[in-house]
Amino acid sequence: MVPFNKPFLSGKELDYIKESVLSGKISGDGIFTKKVHNFFEQQYSFRKCLLTTSCTDALEMAAILIDLKEGDEVIMPSYTFVSTANAFVLRGATIVFADSRPDHPGIDEAQIESLVTPKTKAIVVVHYAGVACDMDVVMDVANRYGLFVIEDAAQAIDSYYTNKNGVRQPLGSIGHLSAFSFHETKNIISGEGGLLVINDERFIHRAEIIREKGTNRSAFFRGEIDKYGWVDIGSSFLPSDIVAAFLYAQLENLEHIQARRRKLWDLYQAGLKCGDSSGNYKCPNIPDFACNNGHMFYLVFDSLATRTAVLQKLRADGFHSVFHYISLHKSEFFKDQYTGGELKYSDHYTDCLLRLPLFYELTEEQVQGVCASITSYFDKSNN
């Protein structure tokens, strides 16, 4: 069976872990954590980066930083991973779910303004499949109503948004705060791992404290103060330097990994004849303002029945494909508290979207095998 995902070792991971262990300091903020911070701050001009143990933790830090009060509202798409919502639910916020775009699973930016109320505090966007949301629209609403914008950039490493002035902005650099994931299913991995990006200066000082269990230990280690203590709420959000060592080896191979993933993605697009629409399925749509970071190749079918049949056909032919989110407003946890309207496209992607295998070591023959399996399913069912 060709798996859906397989974690890739780029070469130096174990060497760097050894180096980290032999350095004598394997807790957080060691030599490799600093290298990772520098890499992101330089490569993508992120104002300030803090490595976390997961993207979930980075989102939880963001929710603490914007100082949510019970009853504050946070707007986000329903078609997303639970952590996008959970981080804010944990702080007592009320989640206001928006629908997805008709042409893409990302949030329907045009709907956001109609969901703003006097209680709205933040907008959380998710760059689904690493494809940018239309950030000019999002930032414009946020600026007019004084809202914070948090980018859930879990899937969006090394991806860009081209704004209305033609400027190419790295995803994660646009909102006040952003969160990335290095979970083993993402492009660049460390098993579990995440990154909080702070683009708004006002949050930097407090973010360091929250990440260090509510203490000013970071300032103490820099020699800025002579003792440290409990100054705020917080938790243990920083990973061991061993995790950072693994991650740094991956980052050194970022270009290479991205190029490979994009190549496989292009092969899918060609093999599935995405250019000439046969009407059997829709291929991923990359809007002009976005770009493709090769995170995910998916198809959208016309019904749950077709998706199930294609998934079974692929399985019979030895390929593991998987569907994705279930609309959060219909989840067991949330459905009874949901008071909004129908979210038609979110439900459509819930039922009809299927993700195909995509990982560094996937071979070109295997991609062709997946494409042939899908094509033959439709050749048979159309005759």
CB 343 within 8 A of CB 335: no
3 state SS for 154-172: CCCCCCEEECCCCCEEECC
Shortest CB 126 distance to ligand PLP, Å:
5
Size of site (CB under 6 A) for ligand PLP: 14
Q: Rounded distance, CA 247 to CA 188, Å? A: 7
Q: Rounded distance, CA 60 to CA 63, Å? A: 5
By beta-carbon proximity to ligand PLP, the closer residue of 78 and 83 is 83
Shortest CB 42 distance to ligand PLP, Å:
23
Does residue number 63 form part of the binding site for ligand PLP (CB under 6 A)? Answer: no
By beta-carbon proximity to ligand PLP, the closer residue of 84 and 350 is 84
- The helix (run of H) or strand (run of E) holding residue 75 is strand 73-77
Does residue number 240 form part of the binding site for ligand PLP (CB under 6 A)? Answer: no
Does residue number 56 form part of the binding site for ligand PLP (CB under 6 A)? Answer: yes
Shortest CB 56 distance to ligand PLP, Å:
3
By beta-carbon proximity to ligand PLP, the closer residue of 151 and 347 is 151
Shortest CB 165 distance to ligand PLP, Å:
28
181: which strand partners? 194
151-180 binders of ligand PLP (CB under 6 A): 152, 154-155
Exactly one of 80, 178, 218, 250 binds ligand PLP (CB under 6 A); which one?
80
Q: Rounded distance, CA 312 to CA 168, Å? A: 41
With vertex at residue 187, the alpha carbon angle to CA 1 and CA 376, rounded to the nearest 5 degrees, is 40
Q: Rounded distance, CA 294 to CA 78, Å? A: 23
Closest CA to 138 of 107, 109, 170: 109
Does residue number 215 form part of the binding site for ligand PLP (CB under 6 A)? Answer: no
By beta-carbon proximity to ligand PLP, the closer residue of 237 and 377 is 237
Q: Which stretch binds ligand PLP (CB under 6 A): 32-40, 53-61, 240-248, 356-364?
A: 53-61
Shortest CB 312 distance to ligand PLP, Å:
25
- The letter for the amino acid at 202 is R
SS3 content of the chain, % helix, strand, coil (to 5): 40, 15, 45
Contacting positions for ligand PLP (CB under 6 A): 54-56, 80-81, 83-84, 126, 152, 154-155, 181, 183, 194
